[in-house]
């Protein structure tokens, strides 16, 4: 499936991977529905892409943790373009706190955005995507295959997203709907800067070396190619593929290696 003239909804489109996806899809000729809480930023992105790539782009203010916002997003997309070809569930929030220290509201917030946001948008978009035999994409994480220390809520939300989309894939084996799970490695974006600390406040400065990570633009190209090829799962890095492999064959060894990696991060939570 080529993306030219397709209608693509992207949640969390105001920054990071979401913004990079918007640019990449526009470059390939897709018309866009951009969703995020930051409406002014969305409008600026939409206007720029319309001028630069001669596509149509609609900005919709949307908090995916609110079911009504998700319903409105899908309704506006359908009213504006008459169809929906692709839904990219990209909106997400992370955390950085040991479970013993974190307020429970932190985990609830993460589940509301990462998991329920994906469920809400998918629920309302599925009938339209079934009509076009289009694609539903979940931007997940290697944390959805291996629980990461200090990210218990984030890992739980991504495990949930993976399981939800896997079940949805089986349900739609005969409908023509394409379901894809995309798992970037550590990506240089603002998700770590906005990661919630134990009190539910953004942590601010990233604790990892951003220079050694994938760029959001690299992730966007891989996801766009995956949609066009109707791939099933995208594990984007060698580290990610090795993690998935080891989690099945040598889980105890992997536990120790993950501990070592996170014990070396700046201001490490593990001692």
Active centre residues (catalytic): 154
- Under 8 Å between Cβ of 193 and 206: yes
User: Is the sign of the CA dihedral 194, 57, 113, 165 positive or negative?
Assistant: negative
User: Is the sign of the CA dihedral 256, 258, 260, 263 positive or negative?
Assistant: negative
Helices in the chain by DSSP H: which ranges?
16-27, 39-53, 67-81, 104-110, 117-132, 152-171, 216-229, 238-249, 251-263
Cα torsion 264, 222, 17, 107 to 10°: value is -60
Token pair for 223: 């996801």
- Which residues, other chains included, contact 8 with Cβ-Cβ below 8 Å and sequence gap of 6+? 25, 30, 31, 32, 33, 85, 86, 87, 88
- Which residues, other chains included, contact 67 with Cβ-Cβ below 8 Å and sequence gap of 6+? 116, 120
The Cα–Cα gap between 149 and 102 comes to 12
The Cα–Cα gap between 15 and 108 comes to 23
Cα diameter, the chain: 55
């Amino acid at each position: 499936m080529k993306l030219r003239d397709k209608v693509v909804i992207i949640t969390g489109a105001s920054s990071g991977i979401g913004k990079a996806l918007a640019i990449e899809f526009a470059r390939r000729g897709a018309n866009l529905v951009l969703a995020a809480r930051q409406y002014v930023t969305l409008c600026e992105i939409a206007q720029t892409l319309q001028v630069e790539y001669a596509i149509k782009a609609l900005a919709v203010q949307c908090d995916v943790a609110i079911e009504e916002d998700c319903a409105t997003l899908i309704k506006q997309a359908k009213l504006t373009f008459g169809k929906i070809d692709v839904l990219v569930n990209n909106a997400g929030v992370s955390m950085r706190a040991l479970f013993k220290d974190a307020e429970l509201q932190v985990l609830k917030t993460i589940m509301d955005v990462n998991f329920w946001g994906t469920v809400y948008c998918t629920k309302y978009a599925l009938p339209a995507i079934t009509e076009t035999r289009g694609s539903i994409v979940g931007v997940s994480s290697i944390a959805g295959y291996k629980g990461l220390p200090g990210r218990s809520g984030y890992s739980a939300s991504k495990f949930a997203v993976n399981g939800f989309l896997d079940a949805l894939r089986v349900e739609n084996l005969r409908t023509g709907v394409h379901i894809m799970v995309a798992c970037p490695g550590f990506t240089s974006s603002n998700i770590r800067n906005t990661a919630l600390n134990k009190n539910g406040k953004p942590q601010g400065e990233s604790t990892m070396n951003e220079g050694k990570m994938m760029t959001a633009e690299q992730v966007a190209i891989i996801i766009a190619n995956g949609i066009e090829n109707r791939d099933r799962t995208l594990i984007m890095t060698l580290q990610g593929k090795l993690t998935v492999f080891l989690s099945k064959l040598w889980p105890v060894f992997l536990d120790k290696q993950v501990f070592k990696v996170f014990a070396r991060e700046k201001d490490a939570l593990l001692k």
